Amino acid sequence: MTEQQTQQTPKCRFCNETLEHTFVDLGMSPLCQTHISQEQLNHMEPFYPLRAYVCGECFLVQLEEYVSPCEIFSEYAYFSSYSDSWVQHAKRYTDLMLQRWAMDRSWKVMEIASNDGYLLQHFLAEGIPVLGIEPAANVARVAVEKGIPTTVQFFGTDTAKRIAAEHGQARLLLGNNVLAHVPGINDFVGGMKLLLSPQGIITMEFPHLMQLVENNQFDTIYHEHFSYLSFCTVSRIFATHGLRLFDVEEIETHGGSLRIYAQHAENEGYAVSSRVGELRQRERRKGYSDLEVYMAFSEKVKETKRQLLEFLINAKSTGKSIVGYGAPGKGNTLLNYCGIRQDFLDYTVDRSPYKQDKYTPGTHIPIYHPDKIQETKPDYVLILPWNLKKEIMKAGEFIREWGGKFVVPIPEVEVCAWDS
Ligand SMILES: [Zn+2]
């Protein structure tokens, strides 16, 4: 098949059905982690279509692979440890696992997309052998410097075979916010099957498609995020690769995620929890095995754009100053889709030194250290990573001194009350 034909008829990355139904079209957008340096400001920037499809056969919501993961993830500006709430979440997860499975030093824990070791460090502190698997060399280096063994590789069946031969199989194999980020989802899940020991457990966390739809989280759609998963669809993907989901938890991270637990289909070691059937039924009842609910999403997104712009226009018309907080991937989608540049936001701030003194992709809003807010005393601070609203409001409570207010754009634009 020629490249042109492929573009005309995209296929489902799981079941290979032709993708005919657009879930939402967010226009053209640059890659969300390509922050622009001062010298690059006058250069061209690549923009790619940001159109999500829903598969009429398996209901996997997905983007086409416009850009290879090598381009995206080989040098990555996202360091998990810069988010306090994320590090705490990892600690709670570790405690839960240690307790629930009564883990001891005979276990081997492997994490796919282990980032800077934000999570494995907690297992290591308990003396449990760990191995990180991380494609971004700059991020992996930080983990290794912390003493966390990390191999720099993209995960898939080939990598799984190599790691199993060199290090053995994992008793606990985990991946947080990675399943949605792999274009070859079959090769990825097939790799997990190979790397899991016979009695082993897989846990994975990923944003729940049902939350995306119900809470209007369209800004979590970006090029790096290839798949948007319901529980029903993910169960089907795992089953195809000989893995059975035996438990699921609904957790708060990233605006509402699932943590799934899987074992080999041939392993009866862990009984299937009642939560599995309950969630599957709930999704069906709400229509996630029907096209209609997916087709209705697009209009909701357009309405959100109109409301956010209305707020910003009114604020500017009445002489208010507005800045952003954060420069996350989701912020990039929101800013580009809504056309928000320095005409609305004077600047944004981010705790990651990798992003400071750069500019947001496409929209070229300067990114500063968070101290800038104290200097300029803006009227409104628009929180781009709205999933971290509590953490950010707590750290930024000082803006009350001059009557400053935080605003979140999602699920709908809202000026935040201080007691919330
Ligand atoms: Zn499909």
**What is the Å distance from ligand 1's center to 151 Cα?**
32
**What is the Å distance from ligand 1's center to 61 Cα?**
8
The string of pLDDT tens digits covering residues 5-40 is 445 689 999 999 999 999 999 999 998 888 999 999
**What is the Å distance from ligand 1's center to 13 Cα?**
7
The predicted model scores a pTM of 0.90
Q: Which residue's structure tokens are 């052998």?
A: 129
CA 32 to CA 16: how far, in whole Å? 27
Give the model's pLDDT for residue 4.
46
DSSP calls for 77-136: ---GGG-HHHHHHHHHHHHHHHHHTT--TT--EEEET-TTSTTHHHHHTTT--EEEE-S-
Q: What tokens were used for 20? A: 């005919």
By percentage, how much of the chain surpasses pLDDT 70? 95
Give the model's pLDDT for residue 76.
60
**What is the Å distance from ligand 1's center to 192 Cα?**
20
The answer to whether the CB of 180 falls within 8 A of the CB of 227 is yes
Q: Say which DSSP state 219 is in.
A: G
**What is the Å distance from ligand 1's center to 98 Cα?**
36
The string of pLDDT tens digits covering residues 150-186 is 999 999 999 999 999 999 999 999 999 999 999 999 9
**What is the Å distance from ligand 1's center to 234 Cα?**
11
The string of pLDDT tens digits covering residues 347-404 is 999 998 989 999 999 999 999 999 999 999 999 999 999 988 998 999 999 999 999 9
**What is the Å distance from ligand 1's center to 52 Cα?**
13
**What is the Å distance from ligand 1's center to 289 Cα?**
12
The answer to whether the CB of 82 falls within 8 A of the CB of 351 is yes
**What is the Å distance from ligand 1's center to 406 Cα?**
40
**What is the Å distance from ligand 1's center to 369 Cα?**
43
**What is the Å distance from ligand 1's center to 305 Cα?**
29
Arithmetic mean of pLDDT over the chain: 93
**What is the Å distance from ligand 1's center to 22 Cα?**
13
CA dihedral 240, 242, 248, 253 (to 10 degrees): -70
The answer to whether the CB of 181 falls within 8 A of the CB of 224 is yes
Mean pLDDT of 294-309: 96
409: β partners? none
**What is the Å distance from ligand 1's center to 271 Cα?**
28
Q: What tokens were used for 273? A: 């929890």
Q: What tokens were used for 254? A: 């990233």
* Three-state secondary-structure class, residue 174: strand
- Tell whether omega for the bond before 411 is within 30 degrees of 0, i.e. cis: yes
Element (H, E) at 165: helix 157-167
Q: Say which DSSP state 411 is in.
A: S
Question: Residues in the chain, how many?
Answer: 420
**What is the Å distance from ligand 1's center to 277 Cα?**
22
Give the model's pLDDT for residue 67.
76
**What is the Å distance from ligand 1's center to 15 Cα?**
4
